[in-house]
Structure 1
């Protein structure tokens, strides 16, 4: 009896709590009592706590269980194995025809198919929330929006359910969200503290914005470096939504932003003007109406970049839909002081809820119009592609099977049609061999994505960039490519697979592995891990192999059978296993006497020291750059590195390691004794790999002595300028993420595995350092006309021409390898990763 009374009291309490929630977020609305509100399910009002991701998923599971109008699907998993879920809600009729609706939408996006009757097609809306984990209000809004769409008894909700298929992704970045939620909840005061100085509002490094590897997933829709993005984009191409949202937070003293973004200056060059001039203004009227109803302040057009294709609000624009970014003032906790009073978590949530509803109403009212636009988008893409002077792009690297596969798969993941190259061709002076190259026609529905992959852009309406100003993905992959006026193409490529090379039979004097392949470093690490002794041949040569006489370049791996602890049969079995796993071709030789070049016992052949790598992380260190390095070592090499917090660096015995990586950051917290320990370690033979301003710190401490570039006639700033021009004038001086052509010294170990002298590199720093005073130690510098794509000021371009991309500084018996470009940028610069990996595996031979 007592339990019954308590249960009744608790039910009444939850009912009152739910009513309060409904009144704040949905004033005057009535709901289906069979569907629990988020507050009823969670046991606390939405906005009182930062809801853990697993509870958000469980709430969606409950909606799936209770209503035939809701369907929850797991589309993949994050690095930390949290499920990536999509909740689909629609009428009973539409849920019963969901696959047919999806296929109709795919047909609509394919100009080669008859256009379906768009009047009979429901609107497809994809509401995406929480790509930045420490912008938490949107995921709470996702639960409330799902509840409203499913349970509201309003005429609008009923109309939407009948005429819309709604997909809700509650959190694009579950790992980052839970990192931030734990922080905010653990540091919450009772009552909550609103001071911006409070610990709750100041997360520990690296914060919750990024994913497991500290990547910003709102940059990853194009690179697809992470599983969260890969499953997201795959889902996108299964549906081609008419509208896709991207909900964010900004500074606490801001108000609310919705599109349009900054005209021209923030727009993507391949997106039709109709998107910016018509679609965005159409939808903006609805956002304004909803925000006016709650008396909320807002703004449009002033800033926010919409040009980079990797944004969640830009990628849909390049696929015939409307991508929409929303930004609300953030409480970055439960409540925080602002210039307009205290900003509560519930207030930020409500802003995203009302704009979720506004988006759906706008999509419903423009249902047929948006369907027509989707069809028009791909029809005009095909038409424009047919008129392009470039009838196709030919690409391929004859020396690197793995990078070819990676790039081809990347194109296929973005639904770009790729064909075999059926004949040897020379295009713009570049030779492409049959079987080693591929053709991408421009006359295809994904023409605008083809442009994204292969075009360089140098002309801009603005000189200030929120993010990267260049994104030519063929350059990122270091892929030789040329625009062709015509190229014969063979069969369409549907999938890529790891090649199956035949392992050489019988005994061998030694085995050889070419270092050119992207996964050769992974093969090396796994051989060393297995106890196999491996050496590097530092000069070109040719040998008699099972395939006849084969030429090998500098950096070739040699496994001498006379210096192995493993038995010959055991070693051959292990090599065969690792070669199959990593797609590597292994050659056997029966003698150390080579056909040409040096012999295998030359003094220009040396054992490769197994890397023992240490990297400082934590306060002061650029988490994005550190994450890129961690991701490269983990995901592409399977090689563990030791990440040590800066405050623990003084306790580390550096002599237990042979390689120290210093990402960009502030190292001034290191004491004099710690700096002296570092100097001693380098002098005794240690290798430091230093990036950007970490190199400036090494200079400051006297460890290296490199010199900055200075122009004799550098233009001086005017003595006086209008106050309102300061952001544009100063911003134009920055290097906003752009692509340049570097020149490699192919004889230097940093360039092992490269066969072409010129290589595209990515730079996002205005640190310009002169070539080394030692004429042999500037292995990467820029060509006379280096600018390939993206924005750079005239002054910075002149400085760049006089500067180095990579410098080696000799320090006693050790050395520092300085990188002034970004060799691992966003986990997708496969073309320059090898430079960085060479510094790790061959650093002791670089000076």
Structure 2
């Protein structure tokens, strides 16, 4: 056989093989044969095994290697030193112009800057998966969705590549995912065992939900206690995505949940009603359409809430975007019986793939609307902050320098503007000394995050909460603070570093440590 014919034959064979392997997820689709499907790359059909995180990273590295439309970036590392990655997919033209696109998006989110022409701007979509490690279907869906976006020859995929920049975070919690994947794979039955009492479906404590230190990272977008969240938030503020997804799993006997969440009383008090009453409704129509097409059952509005700012689906709502939570009934293994029959791992993955595609189509169709909303969000933040009776929040601990600096840095990590206090002030029963206290004005683009840090919300329309009902971070730091009138602002803080003790060199029998300092226990032990 001549070489050109052989190449043609092999190309057609590879294309058909790829399509056959992923046909369950993308029936009838045509793909670029030069881009391997996840099944081709991994050597097993998606859903047959729980994919280890290092293999997910390797697959994304392969996409980055093969295509000019894909770019992989490491944004940080977990406690167990697994890389935190973001895969970005867009057209060649947009990839070549990516930094300008990013800066224009930041300009749109800054009301002090001229508003750019939103009609010429691509939609910025952030697909986030797997914050809970033992809710594993979403990370598999991340690989499939990235493959579809990069390789599909459909009109929708081409339109998305041309008019959107899509960022994939395949696993927010890599350490927990690998802990669960190891359990599910090593306890897998041959053939699969659907009995809920089987060992595969009942992982030992502490399970894979949490990270290395057993912390639930879906509560950490606000406190930023862990490197996974710190890296994620630092990256988030370099883009301000229009839409951010947050894929989860729930009990096996449920079906599928998408937003809106439970209305009135369960929403965060600083998020504009437009987000809940208009934008969520716009997007929900796409989710129902995509799930109807494959006959998957779903529900919405009945439970879950968006109250706590530290959720992955709420934090974006407080930054001019749309945060979306999805909940899929879990197979908690490879196959498990439920009230509606056996649920396979493959089935749970497919539902999340459908919602991923629906999200991108909805974001694209509402591109200009979401860009306009991003600018409107920050403009109204400044104007509402100017009308707030509390013109400033003053804070500071006279005796604990490092506690002060930790809190200042925390506010800055959330892009809140902080200024030096230049006068001695008495407010709210506290005395704030110049040089040892700071001022946060309310009239600033991050006004709604300022409220999140300092306001004390004690009354709610709905007494039923899924989770946290309080989050005033100034109290979490034990920080003295008070709301007050306009005060003189000193220099804006731009360089702020906590300073642990440095013990003097030379021989010593003992060291005396001032126990009022935040770092005292760390240095004593």
TM-score normalised over the length of structure 2: 0.96
Deviations 1:717-771 (A, max 9, x none): xxxxxxxxxxxxxxxxxxxxxxxxxxxxxxxxxxxxxxxxxxxxxxxxxxxxxxx
Asked if 1:359 is matched to 2:354, the reply is no
Deviation at 1:498, TM superposition (A): 3.7
| Corresponding residue of 2:159 | 159
Between the aligned partners of 1:516 and 1:361, the Cα distance in structure 2 is 54
Deviation at 1:193, TM superposition (A): 0.2
| Corresponding residue of 1:305 | 305
Between the aligned partners of 2:508 and 2:349, the Cα distance in structure 1 is 68
| Corresponding residue of 1:483 | 483
Deviation at 1:10, TM superposition (A): 12
| Corresponding residue of 1:137 | 137
Asked if 1:44 is matched to 2:44, the reply is yes
SS at match of 1:331: coil
Asked if 1:74 is matched to 2:87, the reply is no
Contact 1:400 1:517 in 2 (8 A): yes
Deviations 1:393-447 (A, max 9, x none): 0000011111111111000000000000011111122100011100000000000
Deviation at 1:520, TM superposition (A): 1.0
Deviation at 1:478, TM superposition (A): 0.2
> CA separation of 1:242/1:521 partners in 2, compared to 1, >3 Å: closer, same or farther?
same
Between the aligned partners of 1:14 and 1:189, the Cα distance in structure 2 is 31
SS at match of 1:225: coil
Asked if 1:467 is matched to 2:474, the reply is no
> CA separation of 1:329/1:504 partners in 2, compared to 1, >3 Å: closer, same or farther?
closer
Asked if 1:27 is matched to 2:27, the reply is yes
> CA separation of 1:500/1:524 partners in 2, compared to 1, >3 Å: closer, same or farther?
closer
Contact 1:125 1:244 in 2 (8 A): yes
Contact 1:129 1:170 in 2 (8 A): yes
> CA separation of 1:426/1:123 partners in 2, compared to 1, >3 Å: closer, same or farther?
same
Deviation at 1:247, TM superposition (A): 0.3
Between the aligned partners of 1:508 and 1:172, the Cα distance in structure 2 is 46
| Corresponding residue of 2:6 | none
Deviation at 1:513, TM superposition (A): 2.5
Deviation at 1:466, TM superposition (A): 1.1
Deviations 1:621-678 (A, max 9, x none): xxxxxxxxxxxxxxxxxxxxxxxxxxxxxxxxxxxxxxxxxxxxxxxxxxxxxxxxxx
| Corresponding residue of 1:581 | none
SS at match of 2:237: helix
Contact 1:126 1:168 in 2 (8 A): yes
1:290-439 aligned at under 5 Å gives the runs: 290-439=290-439
Between the aligned partners of 2:357 and 2:133, the Cα distance in structure 1 is 22
Between the aligned partners of 1:130 and 1:511, the Cα distance in structure 2 is 46
1:654-803 aligned at under 5 Å gives the runs: none
> CA separation of 1:330/1:11 partners in 2, compared to 1, >3 Å: closer, same or farther?
farther
Deviations 1:197-249 (A, max 9, x none): 00000001000000000000000000100000000001100000000000000
SS at match of 1:301: coil
Deviation at 1:109, TM superposition (A): 0.4
Between the aligned partners of 1:330 and 1:510, the Cα distance in structure 2 is 56
| Corresponding residue of 2:124 | 124
Structure 1, unaligned runs of 5 or more: 1-8, 526-847
Between the aligned partners of 1:498 and 1:267, the Cα distance in structure 2 is 35
> CA separation of 1:212/1:17 partners in 2, compared to 1, >3 Å: closer, same or farther?
farther
Structure 2, unaligned runs of 5 or more: 1-8
| Corresponding residue of 2:3 | none
Between the aligned partners of 1:386 and 1:45, the Cα distance in structure 2 is 56
Between the aligned partners of 2:51 and 2:13, the Cα distance in structure 1 is 20
Contact 2:19 2:29 in 1 (8 A): no
SS at match of 2:490: strand
Contact 2:12 2:33 in 1 (8 A): no
Contact 1:17 1:45 in 2 (8 A): no
| Corresponding residue of 2:4 | none
> CA separation of 1:501/1:288 partners in 2, compared to 1, >3 Å: closer, same or farther?
closer
Contact 2:501 2:519 in 1 (8 A): no
Deviation at 1:11, TM superposition (A): 10
| Corresponding residue of 2:226 | 226
Between the aligned partners of 1:75 and 1:504, the Cα distance in structure 2 is 36
| Corresponding residue of 1:147 | 147
Query: What is the aligned residue count?
Result: 518
SS at match of 2:205: coil
Between the aligned partners of 2:159 and 2:469, the Cα distance in structure 1 is 42
Between the aligned partners of 2:430 and 2:399, the Cα distance in structure 1 is 14
| Corresponding residue of 2:521 | 521
Deviation at 1:511, TM superposition (A): 5.5
Between the aligned partners of 2:146 and 2:510, the Cα distance in structure 1 is 64
1:160-309 aligned at under 5 Å gives the runs: 160-309=160-309
Between the aligned partners of 1:125 and 1:93, the Cα distance in structure 2 is 17
Deviation at 1:523, TM superposition (A): 1.9
Greater shift, 422-431 or 136-145, is seen at 422-431
SS at match of 1:238: coil
Between the aligned partners of 1:506 and 1:174, the Cα distance in structure 2 is 43
> CA separation of 1:423/1:199 partners in 2, compared to 1, >3 Å: closer, same or farther?
same
Deviation at 1:69, TM superposition (A): 0.3
> CA separation of 1:200/1:11 partners in 2, compared to 1, >3 Å: closer, same or farther?
farther
Between the aligned partners of 1:48 and 1:502, the Cα distance in structure 2 is 54
